[in-house]
Structure 1
Amino acid sequence: MHRVFLIDDHPLFRSGLRELLERRQGLEICGEADNCAAALDGVRRETPDLVVVDLRLQGTDGLELVARVHAADPKLPILVLSMQDEALYAERALHAGARGYVMKSEDPRDVVDAVEVVLGGRVYLSPEMTRRLVERASSGAEHGRSAIDRLTDRELQVLRLIGEGRSTSDIAADLALSVKTIETYRAHLKEKLGLRGSSELMRFAVLWVQELPPDSPLA
């Protein structure tokens, strides 16, 4: 059973979301909060498997809350579910530590799919947002994509796992390597792909994984 903690300052929406998710076998709501302080305390107390958070909370910057939850437990998956424009906030949410972003206006089935994708250790973006990011990245990331051919097999493996939202420690465990070795691979990836930092590496990796054909051996 996966335990989910909800953070939203609209009681009616939380009630509807609770009902939606608890209808799905294997999901239960372990706690709720409507502000930053209650959210941080509740997440610490309940130790959920997933946090679902709205970016627009009264008196609170939702992105800051995402960053604080992520800092407290980097392995805890966070899914942003918000009315805030996905085109403006999805990347910012990922940079803050979220593993996915879905609009409240999406079909309820998409919301449940997003929850399951993020619980599965992957990154969730709507098809429309993925298309926008790929189009926007296409003009500025040609060098990076062409540099893919120069990556070693192990570097490609690490890049794929980063794109799936895996942490450095998780990648190290999966590949039976040390955390320091994975950090070295991350540094090599940034250098070879011409990326300036961890946020750019994460974004590039997510986009690259999204573009892999289903029959690719790396998918």
Structure 2
Amino acid sequence: MLLRYRSTVPRQSPMYHTINAFSLVSLNAWFWSTVFHTRDTYLTEKMDYFCATAVILYSIYLCCVRTLGLRRPAVSSIVGVFLILAFTSHVSYLTFVSFDYGYNMAANATIGLVNLLWWLCWCWQNRGTLPYWWKCGLVVLLLHGLALLELLDFPPMLWILDAHAVWHLSTIPVHFLLQVCFFVELKWRDLRSCTADKWFLSSSPTSFLIDDSLYLLNTEKMGVKVE
């Protein structure tokens, strides 16, 4: 998925490096999740929990950069520093004070809720100007809706699939929608003759992140105000 993004979106796109970093943070989290579910040790458990929190916090930063930071870089820098401090405090508490599962769940749920509301507000504000706004809203609603499986546990189906396993399985198609081709998309194309709200149906489907990165690249080249 990351290779598809890199091959489709030029490096000059304003969100290119931020999204690449987000992808790497996510890959690291899923790596440690795989290791932990293969072998449960003190280290692998900590890395699984801490890296998952890092993904959620970085998603807040990604949201901040996209919604505010492109026009006000200082804001995203301040938020980034705050998130690093929050992550450091979170990890320090769980490592040196008490590895409290309830606290960890509450902290991640709170961060996720902030992320959800922030993205949905941005989607609503741009529903009339960005044709792909619905895709962003769909992704965040699905991701956070599926997260309820972590809170509303149920006995394993066929003694194999419990709520946690179903959650892991169900997030695959959602991330597919977020990162690579899944639906036939509206894609920005003509750099000179099109305006910011003039799009056409692409023959090859792309994702929200690809759509948005290409949109930002083209609006920057055309001198159009970023939404």
Q: Which TM bucket (shorter chain)?
A: under 0.3
| Larger relative helix fraction | 2
Answer 1 or 2: higher relative contact order, Cα 8 Å, separation at least 6: 2
| Structure with the larger strand share | 1
